[in-house]
Amino acid sequence: MSPSEASKDYIYALDANGDPYAPAWHTFNLRTQYQYNDQLSLTASLENITDQRYRPYSSGITAAGRNFILALKYTL
């Protein structure tokens, strides 16, 4: 962790020595796309399938929950 990040101890977990650190985390995502024809396609994504609570590096914001994204694309 860089020194500028280590000084932000209010947004990081503390280890046994009281030093800030960013705990490891992981997410499982699934994305698929279906091409109907040359002009129309559908994309569906399911993010954070296991519903893990995580914090993007240095954001100070904790994210939780699954995301479902549905996109329809039409090309002229």
* Tens digit of each residue's pLDDT (9 = 90 or more) over 26-70: 789 999 999 999 999 999 999 888 887 766 666 666 666 788 999
pLDDT band at 12 (very low <50, low <70, confident <90, very high): confident
Give the other-Cβ count within 10 Å of 41's Cβ. 15
For 26, the token pair is 């992981």
- pLDDT given for residue 25 in this prediction: 73
**What's the domain count of the chain?**
1
**Could you tell me the residue range of the domain that residue 37 belongs to?**
3-74
Angle at 31 between CA 29 and CA 33, to 5 degrees: 180
- pLDDT given for residue 16 in this prediction: 85
- pLDDT given for residue 44 in this prediction: 98
Q: By C-alpha distance, which of 52, 53, 54, 57 is closest to 8? A: 57
- pLDDT given for residue 38 in this prediction: 94
Q: Which one-letter amino acid corresponds to residue 8?
A: K
